[in-house]
Amino acid sequence: MTTADPTHDALVSLGRSRRLVTRTSTADRVADAVREEVVEGRLRPGARLPEHELCTALGVSRNTVREALSQLVTERVLMREPNRGVFVAEPDRDAVRDVYRVRRLVEPAAVLHGEAFDDAAVAAVRAAVSEGVAAAGADDWTAVATANQHFHRALVAMADSPRLDQQMALLLAEMRLVFHRMPGVREFHEPYLSRNDAICRLLEAADRAAAAVEVERYLRDAEQQLLVAYDAL
């Protein structure tokens, strides 16, 4: 497979990462900008995004805007209603149930069977836990939510799968929209700080089975709490 020529190998390696050097397209940057506004909550669920406004605001052409919007629609960050426009997605009850159904399948499985369970992976989980504790201490509950996402991303990262990582990123972005739809973000995330820590300790003790069970219970409770909040909404 590999040749005996180190120079040749180095060039091949360079070739593989070529895509990373090329600057991103304009449409990608527009998509990134809009996505950030959405996940940060500055664009509320249900808000309308007229193409022309985005053109003038971002200084790009309408076609480019449309390309970016289409991308975000496939990511479920936005929703398109034909001939009416695109809106920030409003995940409903079914969306919450579905997202948690996926998470309950994937996250415990990654914890239990992930092939990249090592010190570095556990350290990443610990880092996310500490990040959450620090954010809570600073009363920054947006940062707590972000840290929570990092926690779950670290769990899935144990599967060592780029495709799974990407999918989890989409699901977590959708979860942020769920949180933005309802008040009381603080009350929601706080009780999970200690549970994150408990799961992390199980992982540090290399008790993956117990950790997986705890993750599943965690997700079941969180879903239940969200569904109740949706009913009261």
Partner DNA sequence: CTGTAAGGATTGTTCAACAATCCAGCAATA
Partner DNA sequence: TATTGCTGGATTGTTGAACAATCCTTACAG
- 224 touches a second copy by CB under 8 A: no
Which residues in this chain contact DNA in the complex, by CB under 7 A? 22, 25-27, 49-52, 59-64, 66, 80, 82-86
Which tokens is 29 given?
A: 């940057």
DSSP 38-72: HHTTSS-TT-EE-HHHHHHHHT--HHHHHHHHHHH
CB of 86 to DNA, least distance (A): 7
Instruction: Kindly identify the residues of this chain, within the stretch 81-100, that bind a second copy according to CB under 8 A.
Output: 81-83, 93, 98-99
- 129 touches a second copy by CB under 8 A: no
Query: Would you tell me how many other CB atoms lie within 10 Å of the CB of residue 230?
Result: 16
CB of 95 to DNA, least distance (A): 21
Q: Spell out the alpha helix ranges (H) of the chain.
A: 6-16, 18-21, 26-39, 51-58, 62-74, 93-113, 119-137, 141-157, 162-181, 185-204, 208-231
- 121 touches a second copy by CB under 8 A: no
CB of 1 to DNA, least distance (A): 24
Taking contact as CB under 8 A, which single stretch among the options 128-136, 155-163, 201-209, 217-225 is the one that binds a second copy?
155-163
Count of chain residues binding a second copy (CB under 8 A): 37
